[in-house]
Structure 1
Amino acid sequence: MSDTHPSSPSLSAAPLRLAVDCMGGDHGPAVTLPACRAFLAAHPSVELLLVGRPEALAAAAGWPRCHIVAASEVVTMDDPIEVALRRKKDSSMRVAINQLKAGKDGSPAQAQACVSAGNTGALMAVAKYLLKTLDGIDRPAIATVMPNQLGGFTTVLDLGANVDCGPEHLLQFAVMGSALVSAVDGKDEPSVGLLNIGEEMIKGNETIKRAGELLREAAAHDQLNFHGNVEGNDIFKGTTDIVVCDGFVGNVALKTAEGLASMISSFIKTEFTRTWWTKLIALLAMPVLQRFKHRVDHRRFNGAALLGLRGLVFKSHGSADAFAFEQALNRAYDAARNRLLDRVHDRIVATLQALPSANEEGGDVGDTAATTAHAA
């Protein structure tokens, strides 16, 4: 395995830049442009590359620290992956991701991270095709945070990029997740849990059992802070900082959590508006209800990282409003300024050197991931 990797540019040499696919998602520039303006106001040293059709981005012409990058096509939310890869070669998504690549003449990349609210399957496929995976990473994974009852967040991956995973892939996800939490949240040794149907080592299918062995071996070599098996409710208890699972299970867990939060909010609203008496009680309870709404507001957790690529790509929810899209920009910014790429590379190299058995079991680097268009 080569020791070369795409080191993060020196942040002191030039302003940090984010490339933004302004056309992606359900709402396009109507959401992305207000979010970008708010982000720029909060980060006076950052520059943005706004990618899309110039006429659609005309409102941003002349904004300070902004540069419009023209793209003539748009990947829609229901475009097949083949269309995004082979036909729409001048899409805003593709052009935005291309900003993360160094020039053929050796010139540095134009941006240090990319954010898009576009079709998830297309985004993963295009990003993997253009950027390739880091050495030692077989498959990229989608990672995001979910709120827990401790008042913090639990990072969960994979959320849909890889439906079928081997034990070595789950080990790689744990390493990448640890690098992400370490970089963005400042935890040097975040705890890792393996999602299972029980805490006991004897439970689970053969893939999970073998993954548990690899994770325990990595912990024995001080490469991971492995807690052990965890169950679905541990995500929300905050038992561990990171929960690792395959993309099928992760996506089901994510959508179940979103649906449950929506249902509970709907039930509360229904009961408080049932009669004039309950409406009065609701008025008195408004401060409590507002705090509850804030804690379960999924917009605060928007911005899933596509980990394992030779570039930082973040996925915003397609239906995100301006506030939610701004959170995705914030997460991309935090990852870039804390050199997430370097951290992932260094951790995966150290882990594979310590665990030669995991390296031997792994598939060919860059094998095709089973990507879903409905993740995150």
Structure 2
Amino acid sequence: MKIAVDAMGGDHAPQAIVAGVEAARDQYADLEFDLYGDPQKVEPLIKDQTRLHLVKTTEEIEMGEEPVKAIRRKKDSSIVRAAQAVKEGQADAFFSAGNTGAILAAGLLIVGRIKGIDRPGLTSVLPIAEPGSSRHSFVYLDCGANAEAKERNLVQYAHLGRFYAESVLGIENPRVALLNNGAEEDKGDRLHKEVHQQLKAEENLNFIGNVEAGDLLVGKADVVVSDGWTANAALKATEGTAKMFLKLIKNGILNGGLRAKIGYLFLKPVFKNIAKQMSTSTYGGAVLLGLKAPVVKTHGSADAVAVKNTIGQIRTMIQTGIIKEAVDYFSPEENMDNQPKN
């Protein structure tokens, strides 16, 4: 299995990217990597070239650039070249920590969407903070690839999320829910009411109804679907709340006197475990589901650990054949067309 890596994308690139790739290479003997980037910046960071191949590029797409224009103008950028390698079958997946919009544009315009999928959805795996639960994470899409959506798009997201939960997370018959402003069936605007009824009618889905934003992290569902605007807003609000509580706890310890500091020392292992469970580095990157190959973007501030974990996530996607499963479901005629003729 070969992964095309944008070595130049991310706040800590190329150092964190190269370190994470080498850690993943050492852990997974069945992976090879093509690193796309500036040789003068990347090559000195490579400690061991085993199963690593550096591909020279002369351009970079910066974080603030307009995505589609950048993809079209910077043909020799690390993002474009890595995506092109996947399109041409030279690699099995594309990974980057760079400009999110450019990665999405490269996925759509270069790698291409599966026939039958109208709009691929950006998919994240988020933690479940439910004590005693046997499940530790759930699938959440669309996280922001499409600000507007039609009923058909959300139904497709439900199936794509189901495939991901089954294949990558190993969840049998995953529970699918619709993010809405109330748990009752008649809640929401026209779009959400109609999507609810369509999901309810899907025989292949274990649809359990609506879930509110306040219940996202408590394990009520294994797959939560939404339009990109709503899902992204709910996710940012959840992240902001978590950061606020961490600051409140930290300030409480620092300003709480000797008793608070001693209590922290006793609880330090607990805080470390919680931090690991809630860290974005633990669960890998966001996947643009609905494309012809895995296209995965990790957060721009990703460190080497996050890069390594995201590569492990990509490896699982390739091994389990989730893309083929989606093709079989949404465009089975494509596989028929590719069968050898007698």
| Structure-2-length-normalised TM-score | 0.91
Secondary structure at 2:154 match in 1: helix
1:251-270 residue pairs with structure 2 within 5 A?
Answer: 251-270=232-251
Paired-residue identity, %: 35
Give the structure with the larger helix fraction. 2
1:233-312 residue pairs with structure 2 within 5 A?
Answer: 233-274=214-255, 275-312=257-294
Contact 1:191/1:241 (CA < 8 Å) preserved in 2?
yes
How much does 1:301 deviate? 2.3
Are 1:314 and 2:296 matched, yes or no?
yes
Are 1:210 and 2:194 matched, yes or no?
yes
**Residue 337 of structure 2 corresponds to which residue in structure 1?**
none
How much does 1:175 deviate? 0.9
Distance of 2:306 and 2:206 partners within structure 1: 31
Are 1:25 and 2:25 matched, yes or no?
no
Are 1:117 and 2:97 matched, yes or no?
yes
Bigger drift between 87-96 and 74-83 goes to 74-83
Deviations 1:15-44 (CA, angstroms, capped at 9, x unpaired): x11111110011211110111111111112
Secondary structure at 1:146 match in 2: strand
Contact 1:143/1:305 (CA < 8 Å) preserved in 2?
yes
Unaligned runs of 5+ in 1: 1-15, 103-108, 351-376
Contact 2:179/2:231 (CA < 8 Å) preserved in 1?
no
Residues 99 and 188 of structure 1: is their aligned pair in 2 closer, same or farther, counting only changes over 3 Å? farther
Contact 1:84/1:126 (CA < 8 Å) preserved in 2?
no
How much does 1:212 deviate? 1.2
**Residue 311 of structure 2 corresponds to which residue in structure 1?**
329
Secondary structure at 1:252 match in 2: helix
Bigger drift between 234-243 and 288-297 goes to 288-297
Distance of 2:262 and 2:172 partners within structure 1: 48
How much does 1:349 deviate? 4.4
Counterpart of 1:93 (choices 79, 91, 95) is 79
Kindly provide the amino acid, as one letter, of the partner of residue 45 in structure 1: D
Distance of 1:248 and 1:302 partners within structure 2: 22
Counterpart of 2:110 (choices 126, 130, 133) is 130
Bigger drift between 266-275 and 116-125 goes to 266-275
Bigger drift between 150-159 and 236-245 goes to 150-159
How much does 1:208 deviate? 0.8
How much does 1:82 deviate? 3.5
How much does 1:85 deviate? 2.0
Unaligned runs of 5+ in 2: 333-342
Counterpart of 1:165 (choices 149, 152, 167) is 149
Distance of 1:337 and 1:120 partners within structure 2: 25
Contact 2:146/2:229 (CA < 8 Å) preserved in 1?
yes
How much does 1:146 deviate? 1.2
How much does 1:233 deviate? 2.6
How much does 1:62 deviate? 5.0
Secondary structure at 2:157 match in 1: helix
Counterpart of 1:73 (choices 51, 59, 82) is 59
Kindly provide the amino acid, as one letter, of the partner of residue 189 in structure 2: N
Contact 2:4/2:85 (CA < 8 Å) preserved in 1?
yes
Distance of 2:292 and 2:166 partners within structure 1: 18
Contact 1:175/1:348 (CA < 8 Å) preserved in 2?
no
**Residue 187 of structure 1 corresponds to which residue in structure 2?**
171
Distance of 2:222 and 2:331 partners within structure 1: 22
Distance of 1:127 and 1:289 partners within structure 2: 38
Are 1:227 and 2:205 matched, yes or no?
no
Contact 1:38/1:326 (CA < 8 Å) preserved in 2?
yes
**Residue 346 of structure 1 corresponds to which residue in structure 2?**
328
Distance of 2:47 and 2:254 partners within structure 1: 46
How much does 1:319 deviate? 1.1
Counterpart of 1:142 (choices 105, 108, 122) is 122
**Residue 336 of structure 2 corresponds to which residue in structure 1?**
none
Flag the structure with more relative contact order, 1 or 2, with Cα contacts below 8 A and sequence separation at least 6. 1
Secondary structure at 2:35 match in 1: strand
Deviations 1:49-94 (CA, angstroms, capped at 9, x unpaired): 1111111111327510111111111111101123322211111011
Bigger drift between 114-123 and 272-281 goes to 272-281
Distance of 2:241 and 2:182 partners within structure 1: 22
How much does 1:226 deviate? 1.1
**Residue 368 of structure 1 corresponds to which residue in structure 2?**
none
Distance of 2:307 and 2:120 partners within structure 1: 22
Secondary structure at 1:56 match in 2: helix
Kindly provide the amino acid, as one letter, of the partner of residue 122 in structure 1: A
Contact 1:26/1:77 (CA < 8 Å) preserved in 2?
no
Kindly provide the amino acid, as one letter, of the partner of residue 243 in structure 1: V
Secondary structure at 2:107 match in 1: helix
Bigger drift between 56-65 and 155-164 goes to 56-65
Distance of 1:62 and 1:195 partners within structure 2: 46
The number of equivalent residue pairs is: 326
Are 1:82 and 2:68 matched, yes or no?
yes
Moved over 3 A (4+): none
Distance of 2:322 and 2:300 partners within structure 1: 24
Deviations 1:105-161 (CA, angstroms, capped at 9, x unpaired): xxxx12111110111111111210012211110001100011112351111100101
